[in-house]
Amino acid sequence: MVSVMSETPGAGTAPAVGAVLPETAADALQPRFRSDVTVELIKQVASDADVLFAARVSTKGESSLDDVNADPSRSQGLLNYLMRDRHGTPFEHNSMTFFVSAPIFVFREFMRHRIGFSYNEESGRYRQLEPVFYVPGPDRLLVQEGKPGRYIFTPGTAEQHAIAERATKAACEQAYAAYLEMLSAGIAREVARGVLPVATFSSMYVTCNARSLMALLSLRTRHEDSRFPSFPQREIEMVAERMEAEWAALMPLTHAAFEAHGRVSP
């Protein structure tokens, strides 16, 4: 389980979600700000052996059943071969379900990944949304330099960080006040939610397999040794990094082969 909580300091800021629950109903309606994400592995059926028996059915047929519980450490060569030559389907015979809490703008990028992923997200139609919002932390690179396709991000000045934090908090507080005003007036949740920003935190369950996760990681994480360079937005990279850590613990040999062959999904 990976769930790293933090709070952006500031006057009147309540504890981050997961740290201290609001003591009263009034406290629960006070905007709270986070600079992190939450990723928890909820359930899994995933091991390196799953890749091996699925691959061996092509040459062994029914006798591949003997490999279901085989020691995968003796078959690193086969895993490397499958990854190198991009024989992808054996990497699909596993499943991982994650709980993710992150800003809405992260989910809109995440859900571009449609093949091999299943999603169920918190609904703003069926429940009142929590006043939890993302604000860039002090280590977030703020300034984009260069032209599209050839740009870099730099840290920014202390003044720029102060403006980003102040402006984000003010906008979110005003938006949530408008949201509550509409709800109090009897306006439907599905209408009132329209005033909330994409910095609002949402939550979802996402289920994937190793192959689909590798496709996400190849695009949403940045590594110098990747065969194909990627330039993800930092917030979705934070989610992807935590998912990768959980997957690497479950399927270390498969993960090692992924890294050894340029972090390309087979």
Of 195, 144, 199, residue with least CA distance to 169: 199
The CA distances from residue 202 to 50, 73, 220, in Å, are 32, 39, 19
State the residue for tokens 């890749």: 51
User: Encoding tokens for residue 108?
Assistant: 């809109």
Catalytic-residue membership of 263 = no
Instruction: State how far the Cα of 132 lies from the Cα of 173, in Å rounded to an integer.
Output: 10
Helix (H, G, I), strand (E, B) or coil at 121: strand
Contacts of 39 (CB under 8 A, 6+ apart): 2, 3, 98, 99, 100, 239, 242, 243, 246
CA angle 71, 213, 235 (to 5 degrees): 135
The one catalytic residue among 32, 220, 242, 263? 220
- Cβ contacts of 136 within 8 Å, gap of 6 or more: 35, 142, 161, 164, 165, 168
Q: How many whole angstroms separate alpha carbon 16 and alpha carbon 21?
A: 9
Q: 18 in helix, strand or coil?
A: coil
Of residues 197, 200, 208, 213, the one with CA closest to residue 245: 213
| Residues labelled catalytic | 220
